Amino acid sequence: MIRMSLRAAVALAAVPLLLLTACGDDEPADPPAVVPPSVAPPPASATPAPTGTPAERAAALVATLPEEDLAGQVLMPYAYGSAADKVSDASAAKNRELGDVATPAEMVARYRLGALILVGFSADDPTGTNQPTTNVDNPQQVRALTDGLRAAAARLPAGSAPMLVGTDQEYGVVTRVKTGVTALPSAMAVGAANRPAQTEAAWKAAGEELAAMGVNVDFAPVADVLGPAGSGVIGSRSFGDDPKVVSAQVAAAVRGLAAGGVASTIKHFPGHGHTTADSHTTLPVVSQSRAALDRQDLPPFRAGIGAGAGFVMSGHLDVRAVDSGVAATFSRKVMTDLLRTELKFTGVAVTDAMNMEPAMKWPAGEAAVRALNAGNDLLLMPPDVGAAHAGILDGLRTGALKRERLVEAATRVLTQRFALDRPAPALDTLASAGHQAAARAVATSAVTVLKGRCARLLPAGKVMVTAAGGREQARANLVKALQAAGADVVAAGAAEIRLVGYGDTVTDLSRGAAVTVAMDTPYLLAQSDSPVLVATYSSSPASMAGLADVLTGRAKPTGRSPVPVRGLPRTAC
């Protein structure tokens, strides 16, 4: 058994922590428990809890673990079902396809998992193509699920370390838990505000709420800098096109999450913003020179690492200037030479989802070994959990995977598990007045006028609010906020405020609208004939409240567009 030196263990102690995401599905209330007789309950952990720093505790524990448990430490799959040990028949069938088990708790036990991701599908989500289920509904359900997962993990040999449970809570179009929580505005809105202190306060609120739900790793913030083409799959998930602005916001978000008790994950390394293809379905090419990467893409990752990000997520990207033709996830030149040696990152390197097309080039077991050999420590969402686990063990037997590499990866993961060993806050912290105020402050600062006057923007008299299809909630939130601010809002026959959002096109614009508002990327405003053009970059309740304050003159429009819009200034004010 390979033991880590104390010096190496102490070095790992400085690594911040990571958030995971889990998944689920729509299922009937209180479905019957389904437990296949072939799956034995997990054995009670007989390993005493080690003492010392998180890194020392991790090294001591790893030295006692059998290979099956070491392999389980480097996997972070999803599972079907909104509860740990009670799922619908349909979810049980899907879990059997994924890992030959019926429930999430059985998956934890069978594969000796130390981590699980909660996932959730949404029609407005550009990452939805690889989210086959959803297991997040409301905070109470998520907390019960995470409690159940941790109870299962606690019975394993590595059970003295709390399980990592993560999710993609980026806010904006990629938001897993949407009800009962404080909804921050999108990253692009935060970039438009460009007030790091507000950013940090808002993300601290987000971290506290995630921690209350039992989620201790967030796959956020996005550190990608948008190029001129605007990368459609990243879009408003990015803080913008200026590396300095993005760097400041990434660092602030990392600090805020840590203050809230959650580990952050900066992604998608070494930068997905200068691409036009979607890595869920193909291998995008990053064609910049190495000098351009250093100027444009890498600064936010350096800033996030410097601020204490515990995880860096690889991108399934063909970075031609570093390792042409090889997806970064499987490139040692990217994940070890660039990330570890040049950027000095000592935390957990986690893959982007292994069920995305570029990672499906090989069978799940071979892909797992290749990703570990490249330098990744944690493999996210393998398409076949059993095959990935077996492939790692087979790699040890054949020599395709060195034991030292697996021990190193498992030690990094367990260091984060121990570092996140803290009680979860009470659920009553969710959507508190203070958290809502933090979200509203940054959302109001983000509101940008790209055309029109900079005082009260509403036309005189009555107004009505319209929206493209499927945006009734945002429309209703703005109506409510405008009325609270004293505006005379009617259902029809008045000056029109038109809302457009993610995925809308020129056909969704309303000709002759008095005000057109972009609630996602602002590019569509270039084709609007409205005399007043405004961007909120987000449709959250806080963004609609901030918009109402600006429209009625209660707040000044201080935002500046983080991306260029053809024919319009970054701000008209």
What's the whole-number mean pLDDT along residues 58-85? 97
Check whether domain 447-551 has CATH 3.40.50, yes or no: yes
User: What would the pLDDT profile of 193-232 be if each residue is shown by its tens digit?
Assistant: 999 999 999 999 999 999 999 999 999 999 999 998 777 7
**Position 120 pLDDT exceeds 90:** no
Contacts of 73 (CB under 8 A, 6+ apart): 62, 65, 112, 114, 115, 158, 409, 410, 413, 414
State what percent of residues in the chain have pLDDT above 70. 89
The Cα 436–Cα 416 span in angstroms is 29
Q: Which of 18-22, 42-46, 309-313, 453-457 has the highest mean pLDDT?
A: 309-313
E-only strand ranges, 60-156: 75-76, 115-118
Residue 279, pLDDT score:
73
Residue-range domain boundaries for the chain? 6-17+49-428, 447-551
**Position 21 pLDDT exceeds 60:** no
Residue 6, pLDDT score:
33
- Judge if the upstream peptide bond of residue 270 is cis by omega within 30 degrees of 0: yes
**Position 311 pLDDT exceeds 70:** yes
State what percent of residues in the chain have pLDDT above 90. 83
Let me know: does 324 contact 318? Beta carbons within 8 Å.
yes
SS3 content of the chain, % helix, strand, coil (to 5): 40, 10, 45
The pLDDT confidence band at residue 454, using thresholds 50, 70 and 90, is: very high
What amino acid positions are annotated as catalytic residues? 280, 352
Considering the chain, what is the average pLDDT of its residues? 90
**Position 452 pLDDT exceeds 90:** yes
The Cα 465–Cα 492 span in angstroms is 8
**Position 427 pLDDT exceeds 80:** yes
Rg of the Cα trace of the chain?
24
Give residue 531's identity as a one-letter amino acid code.
Answer: P
Distance of CA 493 to the CA centre of its chain: 42
What's the whole-number mean pLDDT along residues 14-22? 35
- Judge if the upstream peptide bond of residue 382 is cis by omega within 30 degrees of 0: no
**Position 3 pLDDT exceeds 80:** no
Residue 469, pLDDT score:
83
- Judge if the upstream peptide bond of residue 268 is cis by omega within 30 degrees of 0: yes
What's the whole-number mean pLDDT along residues 137-148? 96
Residue 126, pLDDT score:
66
Check whether domain 6-17+49-428 has CATH 3.20.20.300, yes or no: yes
Question: Which of 9-23, 122-136, 141-155, 256-270 has the lowest average pLDDT?
Answer: 9-23
**Position 534 pLDDT exceeds 80:** yes
What's the whole-number mean pLDDT along residues 542-558? 97
What's the whole-number mean pLDDT along residues 165-171? 96
The pLDDT confidence band at residue 7, using thresholds 50, 70 and 90, is: very low
Residue 135, pLDDT score:
86
146-184 as b/e: b if 16+ CB within 10 A: bebbbbbbbebbbbbbbbbbbbbbbbbbbbbbeebbbbb
Q: What is the three-class DSSP state of 558?
A: coil
User: What is the residue whose two structure tokens read 């594969």?
Assistant: 111
User: What would the pLDDT profile of 382-426 be if each residue is shown by its tens digit?
Assistant: 999 999 999 999 999 999 999 999 999 999 999 999 999 999 899
User: What would the pLDDT profile of 221-230 be if each residue is shown by its tens digit?
Assistant: 999 999 987 7
What's the whole-number mean pLDDT along residues 440-455? 96
The Cα 405–Cα 371 span in angstroms is 11
What's the whole-number mean pLDDT along residues 47-51? 69
